[in-house]
Chains A and B, each alone.
Chain A
Amino acid sequence: MGFRLARTLLALRPLPRACWPAYDAPMQVQLSHPARTVEVKGPKKVKDLLRELNLVVEAHLVIKGDDLVTEDEMLYDGDQIEVRPVISGGN
């Protein structure tokens, strides 16, 4: 019984994200200055997304949903991403 339950649970476990079928909708990337949303095809690493958008890592944060993500994090189609500029100040 215990073995059958374990086998069922094993079969039902989610597949790694990389094995998921591609979503039709690309990731939605919210940008500022001026505020706009662009669509980018995943999967893509954060650092590659910034490079593609011609943005400097040191001047931006990347937020997925509500979470801050590092440059090596993989982003996928369907993800809601905000690229937030961090530079401010006039005097």
Chain B
Amino acid sequence: MNCTKCKTKAVIGLPRHNAAFCKGCFNGFVLDQVARAIKSEKMFGKEDRILVAVSGGKDSLALWDILLKLGYRADGLYVDLGIGTYSEQSHAKVTKFAEAVAASHGATLHLHTVEQEAGAGIKELAQLIHRPTCSTCGTIKRYQFNRVAIEQQYDVMATGHNLDDEAARLLGNVLHWQEEYLDKQGPSLPASVKGFAKKVKPLYRLSERELAAYAVLNRIDYIVEECPMAKGSKMLQYKEVLNRLETESPGTKQTFYWGFLDKQSKKQPTATTMAEKDRAVLHPCTSCSQPTTAEVCSYCKMMARAGAAKS
């Protein structure tokens, strides 16, 4: 198989684009896809300060690497969830990347340790409050990323969600007809109210396989091991189904998610209405001041329940 662009030996085939690329042309393709996502969704500009949520996995480290290569001012934030050796290994991968790659671009790494603030790791917290680990983890990560972005005055917060993540989430929402979540499935969510940082997903045009290939080709040392808490999760099941469809019919995932985005953009000017909707229902949490629909936000409620269960 030869590279579609330069005709040298290809290292990866991309059936959904009916193309194959050598290392150089593939890197060009990846950077171009991210640049197109940033521009088309008006995510941020060269002067903006970006906070990248890094986990030690391929997507977030690739995102940090790509943004720095594209010349953006991007710092990282790692949330140590306290999942035994998995967290130790992922923390080591993030630190290694920050020192070996990001530091040379003048970028820094922030660290938040769940155990330090909550007095327990994610697994123990989930058990204390009787909630699934992945949902507890999601609440904590969203809260802490937003808190650091606001406190450190970043203009935007970027996550490594890719095409597979978004297509799987869309499938889950559609299967359960969770229409209220569909509005928030776009790759760029505005800072709708005071206390909320703008959130963007610059990798939504790239598949998980393409991002893993980018990491391997560019010698980005990431944690290959799956999070032990995610075993058997619904998201993994949806991804498996979508990948079987994709193998039989290349382009299925992008048609599904991009088609949804296209329909959403024609339906309504989402940025305005979403901001209006948020302003109507969100107000500061009485405990921490982060925006919430309730009197006390879900993070503070969770911490209070965990504290009560421990004592």
Question: How many chain B residues have a CB neighbour from A under 8 Å?
Answer: 40
B212 touches A84 (CB 8 A): yes
Answer yes or no: B291 CB below 8 A from chain A CBs.
Answer: no
A67 touches B233 (CB 8 A): no
The docked-state distance in angstroms from the alpha carbon of A89 to that of B227 is: 8
Answer yes or no: B302 CB below 8 A from chain A CBs.
Answer: no
Q: Closest chain B residue to A32 by CB distance?
A: B224
Interface residues of B in 1-43 (CB under 8 A from A): 1, 10-13, 20
The docked-state distance in angstroms from the alpha carbon of A90 to that of B134 is: 6
- The contact of A88 among B1, B10, B20, B59, by CB within 8 Å, is B59
Q: Closest chain B residue to A87 by CB distance?
A: B239
Q: Closest chain A residue to B21 by CB distance?
A: A70
Query: Which B residues lie within 8 Å of A60 (CB)?
Result: 209
Given contacts A58-B243, A70-B11, A70-B12, whether A91 and B212 have CB atoms under 8 Å apart is: no
Answer yes or no: B67 CB below 8 A from chain A CBs.
Answer: no
User: Per-residue CB proximity of B222-235 to A under 8 Å, as 1/0?
Assistant: 00111101100101
Answer yes or no: B115 CB below 8 A from chain A CBs.
Answer: no
Answer yes or no: B240 CB below 8 A from chain A CBs.
Answer: yes
Query: Which A residues lie within 8 Å of B246 (CB)?
Result: 58
What's the A-B contact tally at a CB cutoff of 8 Å?
A: 89
Given contacts A32-B225, A91-B138, whether A86 and B208 have CB atoms under 8 Å apart is: yes
Answer yes or no: B236 CB below 8 A from chain A CBs.
Answer: yes
Query: Which A residues lie within 8 Å of B213 (CB)?
Result: 61, 68
Answer yes or no: A29 CB below 8 A from chain B CBs.
Answer: no
Given contacts A70-B12, A70-B13, whether A90 and B227 have CB atoms under 8 Å apart is: yes
B244 touches A56 (CB 8 A): yes
Query: Which A residues lie within 8 Å of B217 (CB)?
Result: 68
Interface residues of B in 192-215 (CB under 8 A from A): 207-209, 211-213
Answer yes or no: A4 CB below 8 A from chain B CBs.
Answer: no
Query: Which B residues lie within 8 Å of A68 (CB)?
Result: 11-12, 213, 216-217
User: Per-residue CB proximity of A38-82 to B under 8 Å, as 1/0?
Assistant: 000000000000000000111111010001111111000000000
The docked-state distance in angstroms from the alpha carbon of A67 to that of B208 is: 18
Identify 8 new A-B residue pairs, CB closer than 8 A, beyond the known A87-B239, A90-B227: A56-B244, A67-B11, A70-B1, A70-B13, A71-B1, A71-B13, A84-B224, A89-B239
List B residues at the A interface (Cβ < 8 Å): 1, 10-13, 20, 57-59, 133-135, 137-138, 164-165, 168, 207-209, 211-213, 216-217, 224-227, 229-230, 233, 235-236, 239-240, 243-244, 246-247
List A residues at the B interface (Cβ < 8 Å): 32-33, 56-61, 63, 67-73, 84-91
